[in-house]
Amino acid sequence: MTTVPQTTEDQQRSAVVTGASTGIGEATVRALAAEGWRVYAVARRAERLEALASETGAVAVQADIAEDDDVARLVAEVTSGGGIDTLVNVAGGARGTDWIADAKTEDWEWMLRANVIGTMKLTRAFLPMLRATGHGTVLNLTSVAALVSYEGGGGYNAAKFAERGMTRALRLEEAEHNVRVIEVLPGLVKTEEFTLKRLGGDAEAAEKVYAGVEEPLTAEDIADVVRYAVTVPHHINLDEIVVRPVAQAATHKLIRRGR
């Protein structure tokens, strides 16, 4: 596989950010671009990507990260553009809240493909390039669902537990190549689409998830954490960052007021 020459940290930083058409991925593109990074914004929805690119100067790349041909095309485009030193895997998501007794196979297969298989394929494809820089970074966005299971979350728990396991193994495997591996685990984040899509487009049900929570986290909050984690000096590895709103003391304890 084609790689890029070794770089130094004082050169322009560059990253691929997946899930860039909405939510945390979109906010991360904006945060890094504002810091002067060259950013490849990757997602499946071309129209939203093009709008983001025109606003931020990012390079829009329409791709499904679980599709081998799309991944190969993305790597080729990034290589021709000079390469990257950072990979930010945001793409993923949840479908449904069924208990396991009523689990829908297609929902589980989608979650494993989006959160685990896609992340693996993209990471595998870019590792030679990240190693070649001499100071590569991989940041995987998982979830507090990777830490604690809950009723109705079995499929999402399974996907995020798997993604977390993969991330921890990657950190052990890549340390000798000076590739740092970071995991950000958000709690309750109110974004445009995550819960709405999980609940099949039921806007009323989606809004109830956040009802009475005075200040749930925003996509921009998480993007700012991601930006900080990938811009600190490279010898610092923020291995695992759990981010929750103050109102969410734990997965089972969420303070709701004014309902």
Query: Catalytic: which of 40, 150, 156, 228?
Result: 156
- Terminal CA-to-CA distance of the chain, rounded, Å? 56
Strand-pairing partners, residue 42, are 18, 61
- Could you give the CA distance from residue 193 to residue 205 in angstroms, rounded to a whole number? 13
Separation between Cα atoms, residue 77 and residue 83, nearest integer Å? 9
- For residue 89, the cross-strand partners are 140
Distance of CA 252 to the CA centre of its chain: 24
Are 146 and 164 in contact by the 8 Å Cβ rule? The answer is: yes
Sign of the torsion formed by the C-alpha atoms of 52, 57, 62 and 66: negative
User: Whole-angstrom Cα distance, residue 199 to residue 201?
Assistant: 6
Is 228 known to be catalytic? Answer: no
Residue 203: both structure tokens together: 């806007």
Q: So which residues are the catalytic ones?
A: 156
